[in-house]
Amino acid sequence: MPFGLSVPTSLDRFRQGTTLLLLLSGALCLGAWQIPAAQAQSASPSARSTTLFENVRIFDGKSPTLSATSNVLVRGNVIERISTAPIDVPSRTDAQVINGNGRVLMPGLIDAHWHAMLVRPTPAMLLASDIGYSTLLAGVEATATLMRGFTTVRDMGGPSFSLKRAIDEGLLPGPRIYSSGAIITITSGHGDFRQRSDLPRTIGGMLARVEQLGGSMIADSPDEVRVRAREQLMQGASQIKLTAGGGVASPFSPLDVSTFTEAELRAAVEAAENWGTYVCTHAYTPASIQRSIAAGVKCIEHAHLIDDATARLMAEKGVWLSTQPFLDLSPASGLGPAEQAKLAQVVTGTDRVYALARKYGIKTAFGTDILFSEALAKRQGAMLAALTRWYTPAEALVMATSTNAELLQLSGLRNPYPGKLGIVEERALADLLLVDGNPLEDLDLIADPDRSYLVIMKDGRIHKDTLPR
Ligand SMILES: [Zn+2]
């Protein structure tokens, strides 16, 4: 890697790289690169400590009941041992011991429909800003996301590759990110944020601003879809996202339209499957869902306008549903009157989509799809808690942990975090929350992360510890 800066495997190599970079860059602010030794160490995988959680009751991500009082040993980034008997560590000074005092230890939450780069800016802000500012803003939000207990997100569109890399390298705290890269859409489709005054487009000409930023790519033939899908895969996409129908936040895409042809969708599916992964589509209506399924799409996003026959088809074909309870018509969502009207239509479909998902036993994932509002992002946990209208707290928590993790496995060979997520068991990755209270009895605890989570661990590293001692 250039200058050895990317993943410092030791402090020495890191300092060596830093010196080289300073020599080359000269005028760079020295302070910015003089990372204190302790901080540099914490960015190194070898610096992960051993942590022993004692006296905890475990929600393991699958069972609807808590375990007996147990002890959980985390070594490196993996859960090494779980036992109701005491676990000895060689020396208590080598291990951080956390006495849970009977509190609940559970897997970190997973948001299966997130837009790491689009949470805080409005669309206008995003288009007017350079990618550097947008990425820094998204970095601040990523840390806030982790502090809400979401240790993994499946990013459903936006230029999140650099943010993901920086988080994975330990440069800043944030969730694991399964990036889709740019949303692929058609002219006028959901994700085409141009104005009518931008038309007609010169064929083979300039990219639209949103394309330059990597937010979405406009493709109007199977060949164009193939190029754009492969570009996302080249950048490290874990899965490919297309918009198969109209959407709420786009200016010129009515909700009822079907956008890509089946041949266009199939071109993306082939490109993704050749790469060992899959395609998901944004689709509200029966027509757009059915066309997606016919083309080989593995996961449908939203589906709030679904009908009975289409729900049955999804269940028969084993196609995933990734959806969310839209809470209300919050004025903070930054949408204009036309978009608010479309949102109202989608909100009214929420009861139907969950009822049909239950009726046919569709594999259902939970994601929030929070966009364009820092205030709404604070309700990420509240959206999960809102599932109690259709599910028990245990069912909702299973969905947001082990079930969502099962969906992530569809990335196959492109899975950036091989290992078990969303579950507390031996050899699983150590993403853990210590909760003050029992979320299986009171899911509203998830809506109040500042108070409820006393410890937040991701990948074996503790990012929050406010346990009273
Ligand atoms: Zn979305």
CATH of the domain at 442: 2.30.40.10
427 Cα to the center of ligand 1, angstroms? 32
Do 200 and 295 lie in one domain? The reply is: yes
331 Cα to the center of ligand 1, angstroms? 18
Domain ends where: 350, 374, 390? 390
Q: Residue 155: what pLDDT?
A: 98
Do 253 and 122 lie in one domain? The reply is: yes
Domain-located, residue 242: yes
Domain ends where: 350, 375, 390? 390
Q: Which residues contact 52 (CB under 8 A, 6 or more apart)?
A: 71, 72, 73, 74, 87, 89, 95, 96, 97, 98
Do 101 and 77 lie in one domain? The reply is: yes
Could you give the count of Cα atoms lying within 13 Å of 283 in the half-sphere of its Cβ? 31
Do 117 and 261 lie in one domain? The reply is: yes
Give the domain CATH number at 228. Answer: 3.20.20.140
Rounded to whole angstroms, how far apart are CA atoms 3 and 16? 8
Domain-located, residue 446: yes
Domain ends where: 342, 371, 390? 390
279 Cα to the center of ligand 1, angstroms? 14
Q: Answer whether 452's CB lies under 8 Å from 109's CB.
A: no
Q: Answer whether 298's CB lies under 8 Å from 434's CB.
A: no
367 Cα to the center of ligand 1, angstroms? 9
Counting as low any pLDDT under 70, the low residues of the chain are 1-48, 92-93, 327-334
Rounded to whole angstroms, how far apart are CA atoms 82 and 76? 15
- Which domain does 278 fall in, by range? 110-390
Do 285 and 432 lie in one domain? The reply is: no
Rounded to whole angstroms, how far apart are CA atoms 317 and 329? 34
Q: Residue 230: what pLDDT?
A: 98
Q: Answer whether 300's CB lies under 8 Å from 320's CB.
A: yes
For 377-401, what is each residue's pLDDT tens digit? 999 999 999 999 999 999 999 999 9
Do 269 and 363 lie in one domain? The reply is: yes
243 Cα to the center of ligand 1, angstroms? 9
The pTM assigned to this predicted structure is 0.89
Q: Residue 328: what pLDDT?
A: 67
Domain-located, residue 117: yes
Domain-located, residue 246: yes
247 Cα to the center of ligand 1, angstroms? 9
Encode 299-330: b = buried (16+ Cβ within 10 Å), e = exposed. Answer: bbbbbbbbeeebbebbbeeebbbbbbbbeeee
For 328-373, what is each residue's pLDDT tens digit? 655 445 677 888 888 888 888 999 999 999 999 999 999 999 988 8
Q: Residue 225: what pLDDT?
A: 98
List alpha helices for 47-130, DSSP H.
123-128
How many domains is the chain partitioned into structurally?
Answer: 2
Q: Residue 26: what pLDDT?
A: 30
322 Cα to the center of ligand 1, angstroms? 10
Rounded to whole angstroms, how far apart are CA atoms 15 and 26? 16
Containing H/E element for 358? helix 350-360
114 Cα to the center of ligand 1, angstroms? 7
89 Cα to the center of ligand 1, angstroms? 45
Q: Residue 89: what pLDDT?
A: 84
455 Cα to the center of ligand 1, angstroms? 29
What tokens appear for 453 in the block?
């989570």
Determine the angle formed by the axes of helices 308-317 and 286-295, rounding to 10 degrees.
Answer: 20
342 Cα to the center of ligand 1, angstroms? 15
